[in-house]
Chain A
Amino acid sequence: MTTAFMLSDLPEFFLHFLTLSLLSIGGAMSTAPEMHRLLVHDRGWLTDADFTTAIALAQAAPGPNVLFVPVLGFQVAGLLGAAAAFVGILLPSTLLSLSVSRWGSRRRDTPAVRAFTAGLAPVTVGLMFSSGWVLALPFVREPAHRVGGIVLIAATVVAMLRTRLAPIWLIALGAVAGALGWA
C-alpha cells in the first residue's frame, strides 16, 4: 500500500535530503533510519521491502554505498526522484568537505592539525579492520560458503600485500569463482 508521489511533493523531498546530507557523519548509511521514517513510515511512498531492496542493491553493486539514495529516489519518483535525492544528499556535504580540506591543508604544520592527523590515524586503521571484519562475517557465519569464502578472502589479502595486481582483476576473479559456485 503505497501513496502516489506528486510533483508538488518534490521540494519537500529534495529539502529532506539536503538536511540529511549534513547529518550523514560516517557515511550516508547512517541516515538510512531517517530516510525510512520519511519515505516508508510518514509518507508511505515506499514499502519496507522496496527500502531494503534499495540498500541491498547498492551494497552489492560496485561503487560507494551512498548509491542507495538515488535508488530510493528512483523507486519513489523515477529519474527525477533519483536526481533530486542524489543531488540533495551530496551537495551540502561536498561543499563543506571542500572548504574544510582547503582550510586544513593551508595549516598543515600547526600543532592542532598535526595532532588531528596523528590522533585519528590509529582510529582510521581500526575502522578499516572493522569494515573488513563486517564484510567477512557473512562468510564465516554461513557453513555452506565458509571454506570458499575464507579462501577467497585470504587469497585477496595475500595478492594485495605481495603483488601489484590491480583490485579489479581480483574482483573479476571473485565474480567468476562465485558464479562457478566455489564461494
Chain B
Amino acid sequence: MLALQGFGGVLAVAQRELVDRRGWLTREEFIAAYSLAQLLPGPNVVNLSLMLGDRFFGWRGALAAIGGMLLAPLVLVLVLAASYNRLSDYPVVAGALRGMGAVAAGLMLAMGFKMLGTLRRNPMGVVLCTLLGLTTLVAVAVLRVPLAWVVIGFGVFAWGLARWCIARQERQP
C-alpha cells in the first residue's frame, strides 16, 4: 500500500507518494502529522504511517500501513543479517550501498526544500520560523545534541511561541 523502498529515507518516499503524486494530504498536513510522529515515542516513520493509515481508513488502515512499511524490509534485513559476512567482501555491494546512501541524502534535502514553502503561511512569520529552523539545524547537525532533547526542548518553546502569535493575531485581525 505505501511505497516501502525508502532507503534511510522512507519519509521522502511517503511524502512523494502521498503529497506530490496522490494529493491525499497537503504539505501543511504532512508536516503537522510528522511533527507529532516525531514528538511521540516510537520510530517516526512507523508513527507517521500509523496515523495517516488510521486517518484515511481507520484502524485497519493503520495496521495495513505499518505492515506495508515494515514487513518486506524486515524480511530483507534478516536475510542480510544471516548472510552479512559473505556479502560485505564484494566491493560492488559496498559501492551500491554507498550510491544508495548518497541518493538518500539527496531525498532528505529535497524534502526539506519543499517543506520550506509551507512556512510562508505560518502564523509565527518568516523571520521567527527561519530562526527556529536554523537553530534546530545547528543543534542537531553541528552540535549533535540528542534528538529527544531538541524535539522536546524546542518543541515546547515553539509551541508556546506559536500560541502567543496566534493569540496576538486574533486580538487584532
B1 at the A/B interface (Cβ < 8 Å)? no
Q: Kindly state the separation between the CA atoms of A100 and B55 in the bound complex, as whole angstroms.
A: 12
B36 at the A/B interface (Cβ < 8 Å)? yes
Q: Kindly state the separation between the CA atoms of A105 and B144 in the bound complex, as whole angstroms.
A: 33
Given contacts A61-B73, A64-B69, contact A170 B108 (CB under 8 A): no
Q: Kindly state the separation between the CA atoms of A41 and B92 in the bound complex, as whole angstroms.
A: 35
B31 touches A121 (CB 8 A): yes
Q: Kindly state the separation between the CA atoms of A58 and B8 in the bound complex, as whole angstroms.
A: 9
B105 touches A139 (CB 8 A): yes
> Which residues of A pack against B, CB within 8 Å?
21-28, 30, 53-54, 57-67, 70-71, 74-75, 79, 82, 86, 90, 92-94, 96-98, 100-102, 104-105, 111-112, 114-136, 138-139, 145, 148-149, 152-157, 159-161, 164, 166-168, 170-171, 173-183
B102 touches A183 (CB 8 A): yes
Interface centre among B73, B110, B161 (most CB of A within 10 A): B110
B39 at the A/B interface (Cβ < 8 Å)? yes
Contact partners of A25 in chain B: CB under 8 A: 39-41, 147-148, 151-152
Q: How many residues of B contact A (CB 8 A)?
A: 110
Contact partners of B104 in chain A: CB under 8 A: 135, 171, 174
When each residue 66-104 of chain B gets 1 if its CB lies under 8 Å from chain A and 0 otherwise, what string results?
Answer: 100110111011101110100000011101111111111
A119 touches B147 (CB 8 A): no
Question: Within the complex, which residue of B97, B99, B116, B141 is in contact with A152, where a contact is CB–CB below 8 Å?
Answer: B99
Interface centre among A65, A90, A122 (most CB of B within 10 A): A122
- Closest 8 A/B residue pairs (Cβ): A178-B99, A63-B73, A156-B106, A93-B42, A126-B136, A119-B162, A174-B103, A26-B147
A121 touches B167 (CB 8 A): no
How far, in Å, is A14 (CB) from chain B's closest CB?
17
A167 touches B95 (CB 8 A): no
B140 touches A126 (CB 8 A): yes
Known: A63-B70, A159-B110, A161-B114. 13 other contacts (CB 8 A): A62-B7, A62-B76, A64-B6, A90-B43, A93-B41, A96-B42, A97-B47, A98-B62, A114-B162, A119-B124, A122-B119, A136-B105, A170-B103
